[in-house]
Structure formats: C-alpha cells, structure tokens
Structure 1
Amino acid sequence: MDNILLAPFDTPFESVPFQHIEQEAFEPAILQGIQDAKQEIEHIITRSSPPTFDNTIVALERAGRRLHIIAGVFFNLNAAETNDYLQHLAQKISPLLAEYANDITLNESLFERIKFVYHHTDQALLTTEEKRLLDKTYTNFTRNGACLIADQKEKLRAIDKELAGLKVKFSQNVLHETNAYRLHLTADEQLTGLPTSIKNAAREEAKKHGLAGWVFTLQQPSFMPFMKYSNNRDLRETLYLASAKRAFQANDYNNTTTIKRIVRLRQERAELLGYEHHAAFVLQERMAENAAAVNGFLLDLLQKAKPFAEQEIAELRALAKKDGIETMMPYDHAYYTEKLREAKYNLSEEALKPYFSLTRVLDAAFLVAQKLYGVIFQERADIQVYHEEVKVYEVLENGKHKALLYVDWFPRSGKRAGAWMTAYKGQYREDGKNVRPHVSIVCNFSRPTADTPSLLTFNEVTTLFHEFGHAIHGIMADTVYESLSGTHVYWDFVELPSQFMENYCYEKEFLQGFARHYATDEPLPESALAKIIASSNFMEGYQTLRQLGFGLLDMAYHTGQLKADSAIETFEKEITKETQLYPVLSGTAQSPSFSHIFPGGYSSGYYAYKWAEVLDADAFAYFKESGIFNQEVAQKFKTLLSKGGTEDPMHLYVAFRGRKPTIHALLKRAGLIGTSEV
C-alpha cells in the first residue's frame, strides 16, 4: 500500500491530510524519507561538474524537503495530540534523525564542495540572500563538526544521538507528571473564594474522570485560577507543591539524571567543537554574541528591577499580615497579587473575563493584522485537522492566498502545557512559484462550558496576541530559501514580532473596539479600560526578577557551573538566590520541568525574552510616535518580518527604526524609570 506521507498531498494548498494518516505510517515514511534524502545528497556529491552555488548550496537547501515535512507533522502531533504509540515512536525516531543530520554535516565529500563554493564564488555576483545562505551553510558545517578528525566525528555522532533521545524523554516525563495529578475535592467548604465559572469547570473535569465533586489539575486554566482565588491556604500549598515537584519525585519520571546528562553532553559537544562551553557555541550566532554580554544584560536589569520588586512584595506581605500570615510563601503570591490588584485598581481578572471571549479576542488579533499588513482571515471547513477542536483559516492578501493558519486552543491529555507557534509547511520561492506557509498556534485556554463560551483572563489575551505575533512572522515570510524564511532568525530576535503584538492589548481605543460582554454585548466600562492600562506594569518588578532568574539559571547550566556532584535543588537555589523573594520550599525545583531549555530550543537563550523586550518596546514606541496603525511605519515593519533571516537582524532593525534600539523605552514601559530619565 502506498504511504500517503511520501507523496505530495492531494488536498487544498497541499495541506496535511490528517484524517487519512494512520499513525503506523510515520515510521516507514521517515525511514524512507531519510533514504531518499541521502540519495539527494549523494547526487550532489557525485556530480561531474565543478561545485557551484546552484548545484551545491541550493541543491543542499532543497534536499530532504519531504523528510522535513513528514518529521514536522510527526513532532507537531507529538506535542499537540500525542499518545503512547507516538511517544514511543518519538524515542525511536529522534536518534535516527540526529544521526541523519550528522550524516550530512560530517560528510567530507559534501563539505569539500561547500568549501570550494565558499572560497571560490565571486560574492559580488550573489544577492544579499544568496550570500546569507552561503555563509549560513558553510558556518553550519564548520560549527557542527565538519573539520573534526574521524574519531572525533564518531564521538559527536554518539553525543547527538543520545541527546536526541534524552530531550524526548524529558518532555514525556513532564507531560506524564502534568497529566497524572488530580486534586479531587468533595466538600463545598473546600471551594471558598473560587468564582462560579471556575467551580463549574472543575465539576466538568470531575465528570470526565467519573468522579463526584470537583477536580483541579496542573493545566494552567485549572491551576492558576485556584492559586489566585482559593481561600484555602493548605489546598493552595498542596496544588503548588504538586506543580513544583513535577518530574522531581522518587519515581520513574524524575528528570534530574536526565538534566545532568543533557548538560554534560552539551558541554562535551561544545569542547569537542572548540568552544569553552555550550553557551559560547550557541551565542556565536545570536545578537548577544557571548555569555559575558548576556550575563551583563541580565545583571544590569536585575539591579534596576530588584528595588521595585521588593517594594511590590512588601505590599503583598502587608496584605497577608492582615490575614495573620507572618511569612508569605510562594503559594501565597498569586492569591495576594490578585487581592492587591483589586485593592489598587478595583480590578478583578475574573470580573474581566466575560468581556474577553475567545472569539472576540481572535477577531481583534485578525483586525490588527488587517490594519497593519492588509491581510484578512477566512475560516475554511475543507482543510483537514488532527482534532475536532482545531480550526483553520485561510489568510488572504489583496484577494490572493497568503497562508493557512491552524488554531488549537484548549488543553487535552495529549497536549503539552504552555503556548507555542509552529509550522507544518514553510515558505520559499522556486521555479517562479511562491510556496506559501502553513502555520499553527497551540494554546491551553479555558474550554467553553454548556452555557458560556471560552472566556480569557487578560493574561491569556496577551498570550494569544503573543503567539499570533509569531504566526504573523511566518505568514509574512517572503524569501527564496525556506531555511531563511519566517521565524528562521536568531533566537534573540524571534521574540520581537510576538512581544510587539502584545502592546496592542494595552491601547485604549483598540481595546474599546473588541472588549464586550459575551452575553449582553455591553462594552467594557470606561473605568475598567483605564484600570487595565494603568495596571499594565503591575508587579512588573517581580515578573522581571522571575524572568531574570530563569535566564541566569539557563546560563549557569550552560557555562559549566553545574558539577557532577551538584544537587539540582541546591544548584538552582544558589544560582537564583538574588532573584528569589520568597522562601524556596524543600523538595521543589523549576529545572525538572524547564522545558524551554532542556528539550526546547532556548538553551543558552532564555534571556532572549527580556532581550527582545528591549526591541519590542523600542519598536512600538516608534509606532506610538506616528500612530499605532500608521501605514508608513507598518510597511517598514512588514518588510522586517518578510525578510526572515536573510539579513543580520540588527541591520533589519536599523532599516526599520532608523537607529539601533535603546533600553529606555523598555524601562519606561515597565515603570523602572521615570519619564525624566528617558
């Protein structure tokens, strides 16, 4: 029987035919895809004609395209709609793909051709994008072992193969621990403080498990409201500890050994390739350039933010003291933060939710894209999806097809936690055709109930806009080569489009256009709008310290500071002590579920979230000067988005802004300096 994954899809826009793919088809398709890609590489190597940019660099860019699509579908499903079979297969496939990648970068004959093109091509005859592709290809080979001797190459292969399996194992352990926990409550008095909507959702969750009463889980739409509103401090502690101990308990899903092995292997790999540590390897191709610059950036922000954070926590402690709590603990933070928000601004996140139905918020995000970039979104019922809850929109520009956007909003047992953007198909131009992208947003928002639509907290509103910003980056892509297209940019630049979009959530006129009560259609009261804007930097000092703690921890792991005999809990506590404003509870740790840096792509790169805030604040300040939908500025930003990784990101930013970014706009927006200091 023919394998549907191995041929172009006979579907609208060659979209993935999810409903016709049997999961058993993935393994043979990937194995065949690897063999086909190797044959394409062999064809490049055995050419009788001399190496040229087209017959070597461009040919390599196109090699393995089918394999890339198949693997992309598989791993996206494994993140958003997995099961035991897919998880087992991921453990098996990941090392094979790592080995295949090494078969390319460690191929001496292939590298000789690339090296010849790199050193003998007249750069003046290449476009800017062609130069970038040539440089990226050559650098990718030299950075990843092409110049190593034979025994070193074998060692690199072994390291990469083991790392691939460890990263899958880490993710699977976190997913299992997240799904395995249930806080089952059976008495009304255990629910004091919780809004009716939260209790209703918990009752529905209990019914799913065949239980009476209420069930709360570690999924964010269940976990966070409980931590914010439950008056029962003991239960808050119970739920907090369950979350903080994920993959850090005495069972088969403990990630501590996996962490140490990943960190050790990354260090060995870096040293093998001639770098001091993993961070030095990673940051060579980042805007920050080196670990000293990253740590300097993080510590400078820490110095500026900590006094504000300490003042914020002092206010929370004063509230808690009125309730007889002498020592605030981490599980008290969300609860008293919500109380302080209500006290300072008379603003309750729960009271705001009816004004932010998911449908209206999504329409608002679409409206931003339409006003800025001239694109519209039309739902398509004829595009196959991997779960009945997923929806697909066709993106149109001037009436012509621009992209497909998949959206997947609600938590499921087969979906990992968090929110992310990904792609099923990249953008590129070839043979006179502009192949358009298929991108996806995956989140974990509260489900609709029998009598209410999905209602978002304001934090979830900004999350949607954030992921939509990533999607727009992919949608606007307009490059020749897929490996330079869309979000294929430096990791400390990739967060600019997403964080830029969040700014619109705090613009009064824009908010007025879509914040309306789901049942009555009444607009959000003017007073509430003003309070949202006034509270835009509420607890910003604390949030900054929290992000800085993650960034410093990431850098510590990847600059050789973790020793073989270090206890993860102790190491983490020592590294983040200057950012911790509450006692650290024994038996808890962030690292075992820190998916961004261990299985994810943010190792030595978590700082990028704060780094990109400098860019997004500076960029939005430019819009504010001319109007938040100013077409001239929007077209400049659209150009930046469309160019992907075809130019150095600082060059792209300067072309947009007219100068390099400064930190002043960020500090002002965060309330960490006054207007007079800007």
Structure 2
Amino acid sequence: MKRRTFLAASAAAVTAAAINPSLALAAEDNPLLATWTGPHGGVPPFDKVKVEHFKPAIMKGIELNRADIAAIAANPAPANFDNTLRAMQASGDPLTRAASMFNIYTSTLSSDDMQKVEQEVTPVFAAFGDEITQNEALFARVKAVYDTRGTAGLTDEQKRLAWRTYNNFARQGAALNGADKKRLAEINQRLATLYTTFSQNELADEEDYTILLEEGDLAGLPDSLKAAAAATAEDKGQKGKWMLTNTRSSVEPYLTYASKRDMRQKAWKMWISRGDNGNAHDNNKIITEILGLRAEKAKLLGFKTHAHWITAGQMSGTPDAAMDLMLRVWKPAVARVHEEVADMQKIADAEGGGLKIEPWDYRYYAEKVRKARYDLDQNEVKPYLQLDKMREAMHWAAGQIYGFKFAEIHDVPVCHPDVRVWEVTKGGKRVGLWYFDPYARAGKQSGAWMNEYRTQENFRGFVTPIVSNNCNFVKGKPGEAVLISWDDASTMFHEFGHALHGLNSNAHYPQLAGTNVARDFVEFPSQLNEHWLPTKEVLSRFAVHYQTGKPIPEALVKKIKNSETFNQGFITVEYLASALVDMKAHLAGATPIDPKEFEKATLAEIGMPAEIVMRHRMPHFGHIFSGDGYSAGYYDYIWADTLTADAAEAFAEAPGGFYDKPTAKRLHDSIMSVGDTIDAGEAFRRFRGRDVNVDALMRDRGFPVA
C-alpha cells in the first residue's frame, strides 16, 4: 500500500455551519466540499468534479477548518474529551472530502493541469498542518485532556485517542519555541514541494520512455503478452507494432520470457533508470535535499536522526530493532541467491552462450530453473488466472472469512469508465463500498495500492467506509479475458487485504479506524490475505481456463505448492536491499548524500549480489521520497511479514485450516475490526495468544531456522 496522504483535517471541531453558516453555505457550492449525497450512504460526486474545482475547494476547506480549530482553541470552558478531542474529530469535513478527491485525482488522473494544481496546493496543505500543530491554545487543551485521561471516566478507546492525539502533536513539534516552530514550518512546506516534484518526475519517466518492439523481439513471449504489447502500441498510435511501457506490469513479464538478451537488457535499463536519466525529471538532487531537510527536522524535534523519529512511533520502537530483523534475514537470503544463481548458470552454460548471469537475465533463467526443477511453466498457470475470476475469488474468500457479500452496482458516478463499484453487505446490512480500478492509463501511478475514500466512524452515527483497489494491468481487447501472472494474483489479494482492513473497521473515531494503525503493522492484514489465494477452495472454484472453463488441474496446483519457496532468495534480497538502503540513508543524519554513490557504497557494504538490483532504486523510490509514508520504514513489509507468517501458521494448525471459523472470528475481533483502538502488539497477542515468533518467517521462506 503506497501511503501518499495530505492533511485531511485530522484535527476536528464542531461543524462549520455551527461556527459560520455563510462559510458552510459557500462550501456547498463546490462539489468537492459538498456533503456526499445519493445512495449507499452518500458517494463521491465524480460526475460533477472538474480540475478547476480543486484549488478553490482546498483553500475554502482550509478556511472552514481554520474556523473550526479557532472555535475549539478559544472555548472558555475547561478542556474535556467532548469539547476538545471529540470536537476535533468532528471538524473539517469539507476539507476531508476535498482532500480525499485530491488524492484520487493526483494518483489516478494526473493530467498536466492536475499536476499544476498539485504543485500549488501541497505546500498549502503542509502549512495548514503546521498551523494546527503549532496552535498553542489548542495544544494546551489537548494536553489537559491527555493529562487527566486516567481520571476522567473515559472509555479505553477515548484514552487511546487522547494518547495518540497528544503524541501526534508532540512528535510534530507542538512544544517547540517560536523560532524552531517557524523553521519546522519552512522545512515541511519545502518537503511538500519536493515530494510532489519527485512523484511527478517518476511518473514522467514512466510515461515518456517506451520501447517499440519488432516482431523478432517477441521471441519467447506467450500469446497473451504479445497481444498486450500490440494493444499498447495501437493505443500509442503505432498500430501493427508492439510496445513496452515503463511500468512493472509491462517490463517484468518481458524480462521473464523474452529470449532476446539484448532486448531484455534494454528493457531492464529503461525500468531501473526512472528518475535517473540526467534529464529535466532527474530526482538525484531532490533526494539529497529531502534527506538533508529530514535530518534537520529530526534534530529540531529532539531525535538523533529521521530514522529514530520514525521508528519511535512504530511497533519496532528503534532503528536498531528494525535493522536487527532485516540483517537476521539478509544473510540466509543472500546465501540462497548464490544457490539460485548457480542453478541458473548451469542452464546458461548448457545452452553454450558463454554468458554470465546478469540482472536482466535473472527472471528469464529463474523461470527456466522453475520449469526444470518443478516441471512448472508459469505460462501453464496464466491461462487459469483471469483478472475477473481472481476478483470473484477475493470476494468469495472474504465472504467465507468475514461474512461479506459483494454486489456490483451501477447507480454511482466513477472517476473513469474503467472503474467498477460493489456494495459490500454483511447480514443484510451495508458495510461499505468497494471501487476497483484495474487498468493502466496515462496519468496513473504505476503499481498497485489501496485507497480510502471515506473512513469508517461511529461517534456521530455510523458512517460506512468507501475503499478502492487500484492496479495497472494492460487492458485487453473488448470481450477478451485479461490473463495475469501468479504474482499479479498475489498482489491483488494483498491490496484487497488492505481494503478488507478498512471495510471491517468498527471504531468510534476516524483517527483510530481502519488502516490508521502503526506503519509497521498496516501491511500485516494485507500480507495475510495473500494466503487465501493458493487454497484449494479458491483455486478449484476460480482458477478456470479462460477458453475451456475447466478448473486448474490438481497436478498443476501441486507443482505450484511444491515451488512455494522457489526464488525466495531473489524476492527477499531484492526487497531487503531497498529497505536497508532506506534505513541507512536516514540513519546518516546530516551527512550530505549523493544518491548514486551512497546506493553503490551501501550495497557493496552489505554484500549485495551482483546479479540483482534493488526493487526500488533511490531515484524512483516513491515509497520513501514522494512523501513520508514509508520513509525509514520500508522495513515495514518484512516486519509485517514476520507477523503474517506466524498468523498463517495459526490458521494452518486450526481444524478448518484457512477457513476455520473460530480462528477467522478471532482475526476479525482482534485485528481486522479494531483499527488503532488498541496497541498493535496487544492486538497480535490477542489473536495469537503470545508475542510473534520470528521462526515462522524463516520457515515460510524456506530458510534455515536457528
């Protein structure tokens, strides 16, 4: 899940109408600010929104929210939970709605005009966030509620909200002196601009660089990939040709199957060079400035480095704890890579080409090893993995585990014709809405992610969540099934796990609801959801051949299961290299960093195998440089995967396996529904009955257990 969020009135107050009716009336004139109306509890008004609405909506939304905050801060009554924290949760609704739509458009419909708006308003968002945090009267009231939380008769969830609100203010410099607050605000505004520029540069290189293929360049590709490349070329005005776009969903399959080595190298080079082409969209200088500003900010806030500031608010607690886990896994992963490379080199040598395995060869020869060792060709699997059937599989599994039913609806507007919408119910009652945006297009970020249009709440009437999943599959011809890889199917289940986390939420206050949990806990529900894909119950029902309709043969399923730990060296090292570079870059403090030299030196220091590159090289590492979402926190995935492997063993050990009802209920009650109303470590203990055991992760990846 990519987290690239903007201030959406995390502070709150009494309604704008109660403060200034004229402001509230003005808000209703702009569709971005207006209350969401229509069926299903109200829906985003995509049919009314235009790019020119965004800047005035955000400025007006900030004006309204500013009035909300002023009313809370100036309240003459002694601070208590209701007139301060509850009021803060209830404030800023117009801005929250505008910010939600802003996030949708900047990530999926980022036209030139929208990018200009983004450049203009992101510093404004940052400035307003600092304005709230640095409001001394407001912070005094928050602190008063926090200090008396144990004696004020609050519920456990209210105490948790008091702790989290106070902690958020303190961590963002609410207690700094005037000069330091001023400098912090300057840093935050500059960072907001740099984050936007970095993201737009990455998107530009993804859209501006393509490779036009000749027929001979298609050697080795399955028919489905050839058809996708032809459709892409036609869309780009090159009918009769074939084209690779600079996206993971286009390049990685080509690297896996294309037999022309020089073309694999060309595609690989294009993909790993995003943001690093020495052109107007080069991100290297931006990275240096971001890291420097983050280091300065951490010092202002009283932390040794940005990494210390980030981890202090997470399950890990310290950079050392995160590094310890990563390095514990790194050594056996690298050892496995050397074994994998040796296996691939044997095949390459037998072919007589005289080549040494290079990064653009890894996927290609790994696939040959897979076929030789397990008699498993991914091209055998792909015809059974239709995009629509995998979507149905996700819905069915969610029904078995959480009791959800999904019914497609057509009475709500969408932001693009490709987007489809389902109403989610449980026991006949609406749980929320799920939007699905599966295809790549110009102006859409690459990759896959979950987005939350509306967060669940229950302190002023039950508000149902609206969530979305977004992918970048290459759209086929009308009426043709879109076939996806096993990895793509796993990614779909992963991102859908985030959506289920949001849909299952049952908290009172939005700040504690859904996926608003510790960063190194948020990937746990999503990674756990991947485990339902390979179950017999899912594959026998939904992995059906796109032409014959016959279910995937049990012999093929057995081959898939036998190869579960195959290539785990590559998968783990590719990811961990990025996570380690991320952490080390943010542990460097004020030391100026040249991204190219730092990346090279760090990889050499940790013993990076020459046959692999980082999953995200620094110049296109959007997770950590297009916002603070995963900065000094890309380790979150391995941290969460440790929880995931242990939790998956709980299901595997249960009488009903992954469909065991008591275990599923415990997952719902302890993890999926509670958001951040309880500590993440306590939530896991309630589910598992103990603290996490790292050995499960090693077993899951096929590594030796110490």
- Tell me whether the two structures share a fold, i.e. TM-score over 0.5: yes
Cα 1:583/1:371, change in 2 over 3 Å: closer
Is 1:228 the counterpart of 2:259 in the alignment?
no
Give the equivalent residue in structure 1 for 2:33.
Answer: 6
- Match for 2:389 among 347, 360, 365? 360
Distance (Å, rounded) in 1 between the aligned partners of 2:361 and 2:597: 23
Report what 2:622 is aligned to. 595
The Cα offsets for residues 467-507 of structure 1, whole Å up to 9 and x where unpaired, read as 01000000000001001000000011001110001112222
Q: Is the 8 A contact 1:569 1:589 kept in 2?
A: no
Residue identity in the other structure for 2:452: A
Q: Report the CA distance between 1:562 and its aligned residue.
A: 7.6
- The equivalences for 1:445-456 within 5 A come to 445-450=473-478, 452-456=480-484
Deviation at 1:525, TM superposition (A): 1.2
1:243-322 aligned within 5 A = 243-322=271-350
CA-CA distance at 1:584 after TM superposition: 7.6
Tell me the distance in 1 between the aligned counterparts of 2:418 and 2:685.
41
For residues 15 and 55 of structure 1, do their structure 2 counterparts lie closer, same or farther at Cα, with a shift above 3 Å needed? same
Matched, 1:554 2:582: yes
Contact 1:508–1:530 at 8 Å: present in 2 too? no
Amino acid at match of 1:637: L
User: Which amino acid in the other structure matches residue 74 of structure 1?
Assistant: F
- The equivalent position to 2:367 in structure 1, one of 333, 338, 346, is 338
Note if 1:466 corresponds to 2:490.
no
The RMSD of aligned alpha carbons is 1.7
Question: Partner letter of residue 634 of structure 1?
Answer: A
Structure 2: runs of 5 or more not aligned: 1-25
* Number of the residue aligned with 2:81: 53
**C-alpha distance in 2, partners of 1:583/1:457?**
23
The secondary structure found in structure 1 opposite 2:435 is: strand
Alignment partner for residue 646 of structure 1, among 677, 680, 687?
677
Q: Structure 1 CA distance, aligned partners of 2:425 and 2:255?
A: 42
C-alpha distance in 1 between matches for 2:501 and 2:284: 36
The answer on whether the counterparts of 2:513 and 2:676 sit within 8 Å (CA) in structure 1 is: yes
For residues 320 and 263 of structure 1, what CA distance do their matches in structure 2 show?
Answer: 42
Name the count of aligned residue pairs. Answer: 671
Q: Quote the offset at 1:518 in angstroms.
A: 1.4
Task: Pick the aligned partner of 1:20 from 35, 48, 60.
Answer: 48
Q: Percentage identity across aligned positions?
A: 36
Q: Is the 8 A contact 1:553 1:572 kept in 2?
A: yes
Which residue number in structure 2 is paired with residue 493 of structure 1? Answer: 521
| TM-score, structure 2 normalization | 0.93
Alignment partner, residue 409 of structure 2: 380
3-state SS of paired residue (2:221): coil
In the TM superposition, what is the alpha-carbon distance from 1:579 to its structure 2 partner?
A: 5.0
Taking the aligned partners of 2:584 and 2:668, their CA distance within structure 1 comes to 36
Shift of 1:585: 8.9
Whole-angstrom CA distance in 2 between matches of 1:273 and 1:220: 38
Hey, what's the Cα distance between the residues in 1 that align with 2:324 and 2:613?
29
Aligned equivalent of 1:632, options 637, 654, 662: 662
Please tell me whether the aligned partners of residues 221 and 254 of structure 2 are also in contact (alpha carbons under 8 angstroms): yes
Q: Structure 1 length normalisation: TM-score?
A: 0.96
Q: SS of 2:276's equivalent?
A: coil
Q: How does 1:601-612 map to 2 (within 5 A)?
A: 601-612=629-640
How far residue 221 of structure 1 moved from its aligned partner, in angstroms, is: 2.7
1:580 aligned onto 2:608: yes
Partner letter of residue 389 of structure 1?
D
- The equivalent of 1:420 in structure 2 is 449
Q: 1:139 aligns with which of 135, 151, 167?
A: 167
Which letter maps to 1:4? Answer: P
Residue by residue over 1:124-169, the C-alpha shift from the partner in whole angstroms, topping out at 9 and shown as x without a partner, is 6111110110011111111111111111110000000000111011
Are 2:113 and 1:82 equivalent residues in the alignment? no
Structure 1 unaligned regions, length at least 5: none
Please tell me whether residue 397 in structure 1 is matched to residue 426 in structure 2.
Answer: yes
Counterpart contact for 2:72–2:83, Cα < 8 Å: yes
2:222 equivalent in structure 1: 195
Contact 1:614 1:662 in 2 (8 A): yes
Q: In the alignment, what sits opposite 2:134?
A: 106
Q: Does the 8 Å CA contact 1:170/1:598 hold for their aligned counterparts?
A: yes
- Preserved CA contact (<8 Å) 1:395 1:405: yes
Question: In structure 1, what is the equivalent of residue 398 of structure 2?
Answer: 369
Partner of 1:155: 183
Shift of 1:349: 1.7
SS in 2 for 1:403: strand
Q: Any conservation in 1 of the 2:231–2:476 contact (CA below 8 Å)?
A: no
Letter in structure 2 aligned against 1:175: L
Question: What's the CA shift for 1:367?
Answer: 1.1
Q: Decide whether aligned partners of structure 1 residues 518 and 673 sit closer, same or farther in structure 2, where only a CA change above 3 A counts.
A: same
